């Protein structure tokens, strides 16, 4: 378990330092360390839920929260969570593990590319609330099978389609991400695909890691580090696809 506590420490440090990389680094790392893909996703959803509780608490004290957007996103995700739960129970476990790895690799590549492009393009689509519900459905279904995508995909879309300011986007992604991971985690509980001892080790390592990363943050070139981490995530995604 020391290895996993160390992984939690490293990921927590990177998240505290740059604000990105949590799920995109954690799930593939668990798989590379020999954890079954289904269990890796389920455990990461529990890990993400606990860590996001702290994120919502601290952000809520420092900035305003756009609950109207977060609630619409979550409303769109509810049917995706139900559909995802049905698919997870109906498809053979070995087939699921194989396709989860494929989907994870694809989402990592897409997430990294969107992060590297964030703020640099503006999609000429008139914002409508219907798109927010649709976004919630797509992201909800994606998170069901990979635990990755809620932060990057939502923030990219809100900033480049809905023209939401960066400060509001952070609050929305943290709040929505908490609700989504908490409910998605229940699907994996029902399948017995959550390793609670492993999640505990990850969380124990993450807490001091986030604290240390946050303290170093003021002395580091945050934007350059973000780009480096996103390039690493892109490479991990490509290696995941090639290694299948």
- Convert the pLDDT of each residue in 20-35 to its tens digit: 667 778 888 999 899 9
pLDDT at 120: 55
Most confident of the following: 42-51, 93-102, 194-203: 194-203
pLDDT tens sequence across 102-117:
888 888 888 888 878 7
pLDDT at 177: 85
Chain mean pLDDT for the chain:
82
Q: What is the pTM of this model?
A: 0.83
Show me where the domains of the chain are located.
1-243
Give the per-residue SS3 of the chain.
CHHHHHHHHHHHHHHHHHCCCHHHHHHHHHHHCCCCHHHHHHHHHHHHHHHHHHHHHHHHHHCCCCHHHHHHHHHHHHHHHHHHHHHHHHCCHHHHHHHHHHHHHHHHHHHHHHHHHCCCCCCCCCCCHHHHHHHHHHHHHHHHHHCCCHHHHHHHHHHHCCCCCHHHHHHHHHHHHHHHHHHHHHHHHHHCCCCHHHHHHHHHHHHHHHHHHHHHHCCCCHHHHHHHHHHHHHHHHHHHHHCC
Residue 61's pLDDT band (cuts 50, 70, 90): low
The listed range with the strongest mean pLDDT (129-133, 222-226, 227-231) is 129-133
Report which listed range, 63-72, 124-133, 157-166, 181-190, is most confident. Answer: 181-190
């Amino acid at each position: 378990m020391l290895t996993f506590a160390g992984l939690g420490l490293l990921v927590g440090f990177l998240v505290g330092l740059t604000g990105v990389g949590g799920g995109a680094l954690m799930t593939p790392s668990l798989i590379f360390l020999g954890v079954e893909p289904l269990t890796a996703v389920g455990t990461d959803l529990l890990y993400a839920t606990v860590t996001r509780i702290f994120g919502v608490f601290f952000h809520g004290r420092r900035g305003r929260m756009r609950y109207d957007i977060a609630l619409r996103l979550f409303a769109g995700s509810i049917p995706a969570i139900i559909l995802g739960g049905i698919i997870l129970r109906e498809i053979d476990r070995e087939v699921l593990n194989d396709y989860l790895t494929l989907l994870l690799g694809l989402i990592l590549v897409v997430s990294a590319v969107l992060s590297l492009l964030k703020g640099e393009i503006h999609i000429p689509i008139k914002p409508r609330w219907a798109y927010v519900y649709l976004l919630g459905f797509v992201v909800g279904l994606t998170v069901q099978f990979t635990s990755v995508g809620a932060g990057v995909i939502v923030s990219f879309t809100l900033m480049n389609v809905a023209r939401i300011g960066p400060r509001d986007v952070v609050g929305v992604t943290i709040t929505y991400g908490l609700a989504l991971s908490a409910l998605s985690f229940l699907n994996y509980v029902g399948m017995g695909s959550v390793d609670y001892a492993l999640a505990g080790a990850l969380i124990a390592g993450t807490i001091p890691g986030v604290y240390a990363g946050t303290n170093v943050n003021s002395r580091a070139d945050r934007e350059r580090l973000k780009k480096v981490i996103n390039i690493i995530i892109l490479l991990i995604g490509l290696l995941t696809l090639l290694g299948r």
